[in-house]
Amino acid sequence: MDEGNIQYRNHIVVLQTQASSIIEHISRFPLLRMLRAHSSNGLAEVHTVQNSVDCQNRDWSFHKLECIALKRWAAAAPSAEVSIPNDAIRCLGRLLWKRKKAGGSSDWAREINAMQSHRSSMQPSTTEFHTHLAHSIVQYLGLSSPTDLAEFDIASAADLVDVISRFTTNSFTLTSPSLTPLGVCVSPAVALINHSCDPNAVVVFPRSSGSVAQEPLMQVIAIKPISADEEILTSYIDTTLPKSQRQQFLLETYNFTCKCNLCENEGGSDNVDPRIAMWCPCGGTSPLPLTDTDIVRCSKCKAVVTSTDAVIDAARVGQEGLDKATALQFRDPEKSKQLTNNLIPILLSTGLTPSTHPLLGLSRLQQSLLISSLPSLSSLTSSQEERKAAQDLLDDAIRSASRSVSGLTSVLHEGHPVRGIALTELGKLLAVDEPSPKEVQQPGDAHPHFFTKAAPFPPSGPPRLRLAYTTLMRAREELLIGFGKSNDGGEVGKDVREALVAIEKELGVWKQGVQNVIQDQPKPEKH
């Protein structure tokens, strides 16, 4: 199977329909953007709508139960911040109502019960989390005693823990076609796939909402060639993280120690993992010296890294800052942005490469916060100062996006959907009309290594648009792999194709304009 081809297509079947393959799903924006599901021609699909009465009607048997449970939860909530239950509680609620309706011996229940549970071998931290989830679900369903669970065909606390463990071990993040998390879903068929930190396939939802035919479907897509006898492997976690964090997360949530190639070969003698790398003055890289006792050397010149304490401090401060900035990103975006703005220069000056954690995480967060704070061009007045400030913000966002692209391309395989989306964001930022184009350019500090190092970054005028074009061309190639060739690279792939056509036209107009100017120049006199 070639990369970019669909290995397995799971039609998302919903609560009310056939039991052969199942998706339970829940939206993260319960009051504004409700995710519903419906069936068409035996295939069921999920789509995003706003306040759709039709949708509410189709989902009514579960919606009415959910509506009562949400109100009950909100009434008992100690503060407004926790007045909506999290995705896991809401999805578990739907799973249990479905279990009650379908019956414990139905095909639907058999498929769910066949999913792996880790009830008897959980980590202590997981047991604590599951106990908390069990209490929450009992409260959400409005049950007064554990015996009330019998109506859901759950005979004991152990049965409930099984349901919860199956859910946490086998659920997927439901995303938009541009990878924005929307909620959580369960598919027993796709959940059969095991994990690798260097996967050969990905789970994506390449289509967007809109017409029924264009609704999102969960798809498993090969991002590398896979031979007939090779196991299909996806990643359950963020593989840009270093091994220690990946292993901790996999153990706590999925109860296993990963022995994939990436985990087994990390830190081989001449093999610097780009997730934990720092520059050597010779241009080579060395691993981060993450403990006092480590002696680390540059893989190229073999020089010993001496700035151990400074690096350990910077990595620690960077991690704490990333955790804090992530927690604040929606509640206080300005403060979150300020944190990323303060920390990134510290980590860069310590010598961390753009792919190194936590610099890569901070760059990605900073990029999304900068993009959210960009003013729309139409809202700008003709004030020079205002336009200059908007230009600076846009250029900062481009530098941040290019640092993210540079980091992501070092750690993720070509065609990984996250790479395709990151290149798209960078290309689109470069294609935005400049509010105040620069006449004289200053050398930039953070150009990605695949652009010419000596050139100012970001460029202005036609070179900027040409760079937008080449970046979007590259994005499209990667989107065709990560979101599937037969999907035309998904919604984002189609969008990029249209953007490329528009830029081609604009560049053509520019070229024609320059030719006209040249033709209008007085010809040099012949002697």
Ligand X SMILES: C[S@@+](CC[C@H](N)C(=O)[O-])C[C@H]1O[C@@H](n2cnc3c(N)ncnc32)[C@H](O)[C@@H]1O
Q: Which of residues 152-171 bind ligand X (CB under 6 A)?
A: 169-170
Residue 211: which residues within 8 A CB-CB, separation 6 or more?
none
Min dist. Cβ of residue 193 to ligand X (A) = 6
Question: Is 123 an interacting residue with respect to ligand X (CB under 6 A)?
Answer: no
Q: Which stretch binds ligand X (CB under 6 A): 3-11, 140-148, 250-258, 518-526?
A: 250-258
Residue from the set 113, 255, 460, 486 that interacts with ligand X by CB under 6 A: 255
Q: Which of residues 369-408 bind ligand X (CB under 6 A)?
A: none
* Total residues binding ligand X (CB under 6 A): 11
Q: Which two tokens stand for residue 112?
A: 């769910």
Min dist. Cβ of residue 264 to ligand X (A) = 11
Say if residues 115 and 191 touch (Cβ distance below 8 Å): yes
Neighbours of 456 (CB within 10 A): 15
Distance CA 109, CA 103 (A): 7
Min dist. Cβ of residue 123 to ligand X (A) = 11
Min dist. Cβ of residue 169 to ligand X (A) = 4
Min dist. Cβ of residue 297 to ligand X (A) = 31
Terminal Cα distance for the chain, rounded:
68
Question: Is 117 an interacting residue with respect to ligand X (CB under 6 A)?
Answer: no
Question: Is 191 an interacting residue with respect to ligand X (CB under 6 A)?
Answer: yes
Give 189 or 432: the residue with its C-beta nearer to ligand X. 189
Min dist. Cβ of residue 88 to ligand X (A) = 16
Strand residue runs (E) in 205-361: 218-222, 233-234, 277-279, 285-287
Say if residues 216 and 47 touch (Cβ distance below 8 Å): yes
Sheet holding 181-186, edge to edge: 24-27, 181-186, 171-175
Say if residues 133 and 125 touch (Cβ distance below 8 Å): no
Question: Is 119 an interacting residue with respect to ligand X (CB under 6 A)?
Answer: no
4: region left, alpha or beta (phi > 0 left; psi from -120 to 50 alpha): left
Task: Please choose, from the candidates 31, 33, 15, the residue with its C-alpha nearest in 3D space to the C-alpha of residue 23.
Answer: 15
Distance CA 95, CA 113 (A): 11
Min dist. Cβ of residue 259 to ligand X (A) = 7
Q: Which residues share a beta bridge with 50?
A: 33
Rg for the chain (alpha carbons), in Å?
26
Question: Is 256 an interacting residue with respect to ligand X (CB under 6 A)?
Answer: yes
Min dist. Cβ of residue 200 to ligand X (A) = 13
Q: Which residues share a beta bridge with 195?
A: 234
Distance CA 108, CA 17 (A): 10
Give 114 or 502: the residue with its C-beta nearer to ligand X. 114
Residue from the set 76, 155, 192, 514 that interacts with ligand X by CB under 6 A: 192
Q: Which two tokens stand for residue 202?
A: 């990905």
Min dist. Cβ of residue 470 to ligand X (A) = 37
Q: Which stretch binds ligand X (CB under 6 A): 30-38, 201-209, 254-262, 508-516?
A: 254-262
Q: Which secondary-structure segment (H or E) carries 136?
A: helix 124-141
Q: Which stretch binds ligand X (CB under 6 A): 25-33, 49-57, 154-162, 192-200?
A: 192-200
Question: Is 195 an interacting residue with respect to ligand X (CB under 6 A)?
Answer: yes
Q: Which stretch binds ligand X (CB under 6 A): 248-256, 428-436, 446-454, 470-478?
A: 248-256
Residue from the set 194, 326, 341, 460 that interacts with ligand X by CB under 6 A: 194
Question: Is 512 an interacting residue with respect to ligand X (CB under 6 A)?
Answer: no
Residues within the interface to ligand X (CB under 6 A): 116, 169-170, 191-192, 194-195, 254-256, 258
